[in-house]
Amino acid sequence: MLNSKLIYLHGLESSSQSGKARQFAQLFPGMQTPDFGGTFEERMKQLYPILGDQMDWTIIGSSFGGLMGAVFTCRHPEQVRKLILLAPALMLPEFTLEHFPPIDVPTVLVHGMQDDIVPPHLAREIAQEVFQNLEYIPVEDGHRLHKAFEELDWDKILS
């Protein structure tokens, strides 16, 4: 992972100052944690210049950021080394209406079983249709994954 480029994509009502963004930046110095705003397409237009045409990205996306990371990875699988989805909002039309073909980018889906914002079973079903190399990690937590963040082995997940 040391050669990999690492980026965290925050959720819809979040920022680079969120708890998870700060925790990731502390755990992995050099990780990019940009701020995004606006509609989905506006956020994607903000993301593309950051990722550019560089290869070997490890993308961590939380909720709406997971949606962004999933869409980018489906559109540009050759650029992504690994995709980590944290309670991703895959059920939104921005993902479900695009009909992505299956891809084999290594993908980890971490989801709280008490998530009351993104239904865990739905996110998993959608992810299984697209991400052929999927590892699913259900945790006893809610949407924000505060408790699980402390308990998960991030070095292993990102390796």
Distance of alpha carbon 90 from alpha carbon 122, whole angstroms: 8
Strand partners, 122: none
| pTM, rounded to two decimals | 0.95
Give the bridge partners for 69, in sequence order: none
User: What domains are defined for the chain?
Assistant: 5-158 (3.40.50.1820)
Q: List Cα–Cα distances, 30 to 55, 144, 153, in angstroms.
A: 17, 23, 19
pLDDT, position 55: 96
Q: Which of 21, 43, 36 is nearest to 145 (CA)?
A: 21
* Per-residue pLDDT of the chain in tens (159 residues, 90 and over written 9): 445 699 999 999 999 999 999 999 999 999 999 999 999 999 999 999 999 999 999 999 999 999 999 999 999 999 999 999 999 999 999 999 998 999 999 999 999 999 999 999 999 999 999 999 999 999 999 999 999 999 999 999 999
Distance of CA 123 to the CA centre of its chain: 12
As a whole number of angstroms, the distance between CA 96 and CA 89 comes to 10
